[in-house]
Amino acid sequence: MADDPLSNSTTNNKRAEGIQLQHGDCESESTAPLLLAPHESYRLSAAILPFLFPALGGLLYGYDIGATSGATISLKSSTFSGTTWYNLSSLQTGLVVSGSLYGALIGSILAFNIADFLGRRRELILSSVSYLIGALLTAAAPNFPIMVVGRFFYGIGIGLAMHAAPMYIAETAPSQIRGMLISLKEFFIVLGMLLGYIAGSLFVEVVSGWRYMYATSTPLCLIMGIGMCWLPASPRWLLLCAIQGKRNIMESKENATRCLCRLRGQASPDLVSEQVDLILDELSYVDQERQAGFSEIFQGKCLKAMIIGCGLVFFQQVTGQPSVLYYAATILQSAGFSGASDATRVSVLLGLLKLIMTGVAVLVVDRLGRRPLLIGGVSGIAVSLFLLSSYYTLLKDAPYVAVIALLLYVGCYQLSFGPIGWLMISEVFPLRLRGRGLSIAVLVNFASNALVTFAFSPLEDLIGTGILFSAFGVIAVASLVFIFFIVPETKGLTLEEIEASL
């Protein structure tokens, strides 16, 4: 074989006799020891594609954010719009910018109902189709209503992809590198933003340039869809369907073994059949036979997972992430940067910083763990927000303070909330309720993003920019307390170990 199997570099010493996640309680009635999987042997080359194609869903999400910033400039230009309906009102511009966000909310709601029926792989295929339809409709739109419909379809793809991609990666990745791979999905989101900003700067002064910006994403939609059709289904989802009586248990076990062989790069089913048996035993031990009911999402260990996951993605947004970036161009202009007058160049600069810091998080998340990155990064976020507040209230003659605060905020966010939020919500939900639980977490993410985006301007007019950033700083401190006392460490644990420990 071309590659040597990689062994577990971070040996999991947390054994099952009363295993307990840091700051997480076990169920009082759990007395039997948790069955532990042996160290997973895998080929790195085999782990790449099962990550890459789902991660393209994140890249397409980021690309839309970046491209739309340039597309709105092009679309509203009488010279470069290439349309007769370029004179858009503020409401129409808002629909262009936030249309995909509304679609993502719809996609999250759809995921709640269809995720467990379709499975992770087919949900990602459906996401790629929605992405493609949305991109084509938007790029070819003959009028404004068709463009808005295209933005909604693209947003539905975002909602489905951001729901299914972390689940598929978490359930198929070796536990040794699961944190790195899911965090790397955030790297792809940021990479997509950077590519969108670059596309905006290239086409912003081209007639109908906004059409090219949106059309550029269509090849990636096709690659994602074709790639997901080629990849195997999640073995854990197949086994879950089997023990719930939806599929034949022996056929599902054989299918799961074949899928896991492909995912680990092992030629012989004998090398992975023991792990499939252990997953089945663990699923039975943690009571996965019953199908999930709606009320169960808010009970027991799923309620604990819901508090952890939804709390993280809520704080991820309400600590001001959309608002700080909104002020980026103004802050850099006040500091006298010559390129700051060009919004697209400023965006590329910040996109590069976000990409670098996300890369750092990806490299260290499975060595340092989730909690240290969250605690350190959110502490930096709080400091940066109070610095921004002081600039707008006390230090208006010292723009370098605002620039330092802006760069500190972006860097710390990409070390903590950016990648770790998506990582944690894909790890903490029980398998039987993972599809529905994660859809609620994704819905909370997009809804809180919309809340902060749309409430910022009225609040700024009401209480002032400085006080508003102080309020974000206080929320960041509250999120730090939440992380310290509520959020567990999941480094090195299998998904079944995490579930049994909640």
How is the chain split into domains, by residue range? 42-230, 233-287, 294-501
- d(Cα 319, Cα 132) in Å, to the nearest integer? 33
336 pLDDT band (50/70/90 cuts)? low
Domain 294-501 has CATH 1.20.1250.20: yes
Q: Using an 8 Å Cβ cutoff, are 453 and 345 in contact? A: no
Question: pLDDT tens digits for 408-448?
Answer: 998 999 899 988 888 888 888 877 778 788 888 888 888 88
Distant-in-sequence, close-in-space partners of 89: CB < 8 Å, separation ≥ 6? none
The residue that leads in pLDDT, 283 or 63, is: 63
364's enclosing H/E stretch is helix 343-368
- 394, amino acid identity: L
Q: Distance (Å, rounded) from C-alpha 491 to C-alpha 488? A: 9
Summarised one tens digit per residue, pLDDT across range 190-239 is 899 889 888 888 888 888 889 999 999 999 999 999 999 999 988 888 88
What pLDDT sits at residue 175? Answer: 76
CATH code for the structural domain at 42-230: 1.20.1250.20
How far does Cα 82 stand from its chain's mean position? 35
Burial class (CB within 10 angstroms; exposed 0-12, middle 13-18, buried 19+) of 347: buried
Question: Among 286, 229, 295, which Cα is nearest to 436's?
Answer: 295
CATH topology match: 42-230 vs 294-501: yes
Residues 319, 449: Cα–Cα separation, whole Å: 10
- pLDDT band with cut points at 50, 70 and 90 for residue 335: low
Alpha helices in 216-320 (DSSP H): 218-230, 235-243, 249-264, 270-285, 300-318
Q: What integer is the mean pLDDT of 24-29?
A: 36
Contacts of 464 by beta carbon, 8 Å cutoff, 6+ apart: 392, 393
Token pair of 391, please? 């600039």
Residue type, 209: G
Token readout for 271 is 């090398």
